[in-house]
Structure 1
Amino acid sequence: MIEELLKKNVPKKYQDTLFVRLFGFMKVPLIFWVSPSVVKMDDKECIIKIPLNRRTKNHLNSMYFGVLCTGADLAGGLVAMNEITASKKKVALSFKDFKADFLKRAEGDVHFIVTQIPEIKKFVADVIKSGERMNMPVEIKAVVPSINPEEVVANFVLTLSLKAK
């Protein structure tokens, strides 16, 4: 009943933000601690925002690299998590490896952007169909829109590893 009310009366991005924060609270407290928000989630891109604040900044007043990695992890996995949830199948999600290039200090709220949405959705379907462990590299870029929405402050490549149970 509550789920139906949410779907009818609450915009999708707020539903997604609630999902992310509840997941963080219940499963990965660090995600909850950094207060992520879903800015956009559609068939073209997923954008997660993590605010720069006392909890997320380093001694140079820019975003701590561990928080940047947390944002990349969340952005890289959220589309797959949503697809797995919608399928109602049991699928183990993890990341096999992680590559990061930190290009510039992130001195404001950071947006983590994934544009491989159709590929990730197909990947989840393929894993469910095959039942085998499969891997897919997911690219995430981080920008600080309040300073320059076009300038990338960090690039990440995470290998998404899924296995149907």
Structure 2
Amino acid sequence: MLSPLTKANLGLLVFAFRKVPLIWMTRPRLLAIDGEQVQVKLPLNRRNKNHLNSMYFGALAVGADVAGGFLAMHKAHLLGKKVSLAFKSVQGEFLKRPEADAVFVCKDGALIDDMLNRSIETGERINEAVEILVYCPTLSKDEIMARFALTLSVKVKP
């Protein structure tokens, strides 16, 4: 029997392969997911590094997308609801070159719960910014490499 994390990783890979091949090509992997946060690892490899041998900013955006989006999809799934999910805006701050595998952390589980509940109550689309922090644990355990604010837009389908 597969662990919940293994099932979530398989679900992510199938979704990426079928719906967003660029995500699939970057090979994200969920390290942890619970009610409050998600941690996604994006390996630094030939496909996503730039001419400086650090992670290309487009790959960083993919990792941020997966971290914020998967947490929302996971929470909707736990509620037994289907959602329409999109990102309406993105702000990125690149603080240091990620020259190793990157870990994307989104700790906005409570905010996403509130968004889903408001959408269920009102039937409306709800937009809120979620924060994703990027680390390179093999280089520096606690140093933030990049910071993203993605405006998550969710609407629970009837």
TM class, shorter-chain normalised?
over 0.9
Matching residue of 1:104: 96
The answer to whether the 8 A contact 1:91-1:128 is kept is: no
Looking at structure 1, the residues matched to 92 and 42 of structure 2 have their Cα atoms a distance apart, in angstroms, of 17
Tell me, yes or no, if structure 1 residue 140 matches structure 2 residue 132: yes
**TM-score (norm: length of structure 1):** 0.90
Find the residue that maps to 1:121 and give its secondary structure.
helix
For residue 113 of structure 2, the aligned residue among 114, 121, 127 is 121
Tell me the number of residue pairs that the alignment of Structure 1 and Structure 2 aligns: 157
Looking at structure 2, the residues matched to 90 and 12 of structure 1 have their Cα atoms a distance apart, in angstroms, of 19
**Match runs of 1:20-31 below 5 Å:** 20-31=12-23
Looking at structure 2, the residues matched to 119 and 43 of structure 1 have their Cα atoms a distance apart, in angstroms, of 11
1:88 is displaced (CA, Å) by: 3.4
1:83 is displaced (CA, Å) by: 2.0
Matching residue of 1:82: 74
The answer to whether the 8 A contact 1:50-1:111 is kept is: yes
Looking at structure 1, the residues matched to 101 and 156 of structure 2 have their Cα atoms a distance apart, in angstroms, of 35
RMSD, matched Cα: 1.2
Matching residue of 2:56: 64
Tell me, yes or no, if structure 1 residue 158 matches structure 2 residue 135: no
Looking at structure 1, the residues matched to 4 and 105 of structure 2 have their Cα atoms a distance apart, in angstroms, of 17
1:84 is displaced (CA, Å) by: 2.1
The residue type paired with residue 57 of structure 2 is: F
| Structure 2 gaps, min length 5 | none
* Structure 1 stretch displaced more, 132-141 or 12-21: 12-21
Looking at structure 1, the residues matched to 147 and 104 of structure 2 have their Cα atoms a distance apart, in angstroms, of 9
Looking at structure 2, the residues matched to 21 and 105 of structure 1 have their Cα atoms a distance apart, in angstroms, of 27
1:149 is displaced (CA, Å) by: 1.4
**TM-score (norm: length of structure 2):** 0.94
Looking at structure 1, the residues matched to 43 and 125 of structure 2 have their Cα atoms a distance apart, in angstroms, of 34
